[in-house]
Structure 1
Amino acid sequence: MKVGLVKKNIKKYEGYIFILPWILGFFIFTIFPIGFAFYIGFTDWNSFTEPKFIGLDNYISLFKDPNFLNSLKVTVIYAAFAIPLGIVSSLLIAVIVNVKVKGIYLFRTALYLPAVVSGVSIALLWRWILDPDYGLINFLLSYIGISGPNWLGDPAWVLPSYVMMAIWGAGGGMLTYLAGLQDIPRSLYESAEIDGAGWWTKFRHITLPMLSPVIFYNLVMGIIGAFRKFNDAYIIGGAGNQAQFYMVYLYENAFNFYKMGYATAMAWILFIIILLLTLLVFKTSPLWVFYSGELENGKKKKTKNKSR
């Protein structure tokens, strides 16, 4: 009787038993680190000694720190240019390669490859491309009689250099746009052509609305990626403090100066910034993001109202 009761209880909770490893992992590797990081942001800790609780001192000191304000400024300026240029270039490439010609798969693969190559390799490649004496860009500019700038050695050209690097990775976004383009019904374009619509009218009134969910996704991912820029900025740097991106300064505080509490406070501020920007994008999305399912539901509602 007792054995049967035990089996019955086990069967009742067997679902929870199966997901127990995931629950334990979630609490140990996600919830606990988040809670610990929240506490560390209010402490003075060098990773070796006992954390000393100092309240809001880290957060107050941050907004008095000129290097922190500069890193935030550099990152915001970079994001303001890199995000829209990345979206436009990815979309343009996707439209160009969305054709059925021989060898197009080779071009798609070549354009996508930079998105999957190691960030360290990309940084070293761009350090050579932007070299003022032996770099590829200045070498090509010399052929048309233009003396190329000292890209990473001149503070005025550091941010434009990093924006160019951001466009280099446009192949990653191209893949999602290409999938969206191929999902657009051909009948919509055929109907527009019958009405005499040109390529721009079709692109504006069919392609862009139908791709708006993909643009929305890439915009959110672009915001996150731009504010988390680190690899190439840390490896190749730049003149003055124009390559002192937010994540670079956070890393320096955590692992060069051993100011872990200070760096954790920076991480939480970055989290809040990204969260607010993402919420803003979500809030405005009903104004410009189009979902085909909504149109179908709207048509059904109109049909029902007419039948009544």
Structure 2
Amino acid sequence: MTATTSTRRAEVDPQSAGPRPGARRSDERVAGYLFLSPWIVGVLLLTLGPMLASLYLSFTDYDLFDTPRWIGLDNYQRMFEDARWLKSVRVTALYVALAVPIKLACALAVAMLLNNERRGRAFYRAAFYGPSLIGASVSLAIVWKAMFSDDAVVDRMLGTVGVHTGGWAGNPDFSLLMLVLLAVWQLGAPMVIFLAGLKQVPRELYEAAQVDGADRWRRFRSITLPMISPVLFFNLLLETINAFQVFTSAYIVGGPNGQPAGTTLFYTIYLFDRGFGDYRMGYASAMAWVLLAGVGLVTLFLFRTARGWVYYSGDR
């Protein structure tokens, strides 16, 4: 009688014969962690571990050969008394202030031109995006330096209109501008993002504004900029962070000393020179954490100020 009753209960309640929902969720959770385990191990061993190690080394005197010796905040105190460190901060800040807005302005202008229906539009898009595929390569920096050297292509072209600079690469007045132009030349990535944002602007807004008599500048200022402001903020954020980390092109052009006259002594170059040139790894680690804190503060500032000019379609 009891066995018959149990059998009937199993037939009425099929879930009693299978795994419980809690057990299934537990198995799915374990499977998820197994699939994520390569990424988790990579983050712990290749990212988080080295970061914690560098944080510890920033409070030590370490030369890669001897045992690290704890010195507390001495590295951070020396940093703000280091004239070359202050010089690298000024050079990097000036580069960011010049390269980022000029690059974004040019990328937006090209995107607006390519957003219109015209013949060969696909070719021009690929042509403008092409330099971004090269990236910050050593070969590109070498070619760029050769182009802007004394009596090279750029110098000869300027000489035809009566401008003689003697080469930008060795001129303290133009060496930083040369690197800014290199950054602007690689405008493909923000251009593509701008182009995607422009595709989302309703054409009805332009048509209504044109009927009301708004000229091109008014339509750009009142319609285009507000509607693509989230895309503009995204590009501004990424390009600012990337500009603080410029290294390869500046190192090829100016070397570890930021020649000529320290005008290309970027923060990352000075950090590399202190760590692998002078073997002051503790000091270099402290510089890296100050750079991280500085980029974080700039990012926070951008997010705070974005509330006043970034428009989202869901805002009221």
- Cα 1:53–1:16 change in 2 (3 A) is farther
Residues in 2 aligned to 1:112 and 1:90: alpha-carbon distance in whole angstroms = 10
1:131 paired residue among 137, 142, 149: 149
- The structure-2 alpha-carbon separation of the partners of 1:10 and 1:255, relative to structure 1 and needing over 3 Å to count, comes to farther
Give CA deviations for 1:71-120 in whole Å, capped at 9, x if unaligned: 11111111111111111111111111111112111111111111111422
1:17 shift after superposition: 4.8
Secondary structure of the equivalent of 1:102?
A: coil
* 1:239 is aligned to 2:255: no
Q: Which runs of 5+ in 2 are unaligned?
A: 1-17
What's the offset of the Cα at 1:27? 2.6
Which letter maps to 2:228? Answer: L
- Confirm or deny: 8 A CA contact 1:81 1:163 kept in the other structure: yes
Which residue of structure 1 lines up, in the alignment, with residue 73 of structure 2? 56
Name the residue aligned to 1:18: 32
Distance of aligned partners of 1:49 and 1:36 in 2 relative to their CA distance in 1, 3 Å threshold: same
Higher helix share: 1
Q: Where do 5+ consecutive residues of structure 1 fail to align? A: 299-308
The 8 Å contact of residues 229 and 247 in structure 1, kept in 2 or not, is answered as yes
Letter paired with 1:274? V
Which residue number corresponds to residue 139 of structure 2? 121
Between structure 1 and structure 2, the one with the greater Rg is 2
Code of the aligned partner of 1:206: I
Could you report, residue by residue, the CA deviation over 1:212-236 in whole angstroms, capped at 9, with x for unpaired residues? 1111111111211111110111112
Whether the 8 Å CA contact 2:149–2:170 is kept in 1: the answer is no
Q: 1:42-87 deviations in whole A, cap 9, x for unaligned?
A: 0111223321111011111111111111111111111111111111
Report deviation, 1:149: 3.6
- Contact 1:253/1:260 (8 A) holds in 2: yes
Dislocated runs of 4+, deviation >4 Å = 8-11
The letter for the 1-side match of 2:52 is: G
Q: Return closer, same or farther for 1:9/1:44 CA change in 2, 3 Å cut-off.
A: farther
- The CA distance in 2 between the partners of 1:293 and 1:106, in whole Å, is 36
Q: Does 1:146 align with 2:163?
A: yes
What residue number does 1:306 align with? none
Q: Aligned equivalents of 2:70 and 2:126: distance in 1?
A: 52
- Partner residue of 2:269 out of 226, 245, 248: 248
Would you say the 8 A contact 1:41–1:261 is kept in 2? yes
Residue 137 of structure 1 contacts residue 148 of structure 1 at CA under 8 Å; is this kept in 2?
A: no
Q: Does structure 1 conserve the Cα–Cα contact (< 8 Å) formed by 2:64 and 2:281?
A: yes
Of all paired residues, the percent bearing the same amino acid is 39
Q: Match of 1:189?
A: 206
Which secondary structure state, in structure 2, belongs to the residue aligned with residue 115 of structure 1? Answer: helix
RMSD: 2.1
Shift of 1:181: 0.6
Structure 2 length as normaliser, TM-score? 0.86
**Conservation of the 8 A alpha-carbon contact between 1:149 and 1:157:** no
What is the aligned partner in structure 1 of residue 8 from structure 2?
none
Report how many aligned residue pairs link the two structures: 291
1:11–1:199 Cα change, 3 Å? closer
CA deviations on 1:112-148 (whole Å, 9 max, x unpaired) are: 1111114223211211210111x22111112223223
CA separation in 2, counterparts of 1:87 and 1:112? 14
Structure 2 counterpart of 1:138, one-letter code: D
Q: CA deviation at 1:11?
A: 5.9
Q: Give the TM-score of the pair, scaled to structure 1.
A: 0.89
**In the alignment, what sits opposite 2:6?**
none
Q: How many angstroms does 1:14 deviate by?
A: 4.3
Q: 1:209 aligned to 2:230?
A: no
- From 271, 274, 286, give the equivalent of 2:292: 271
Offset, 1:29: 2.8
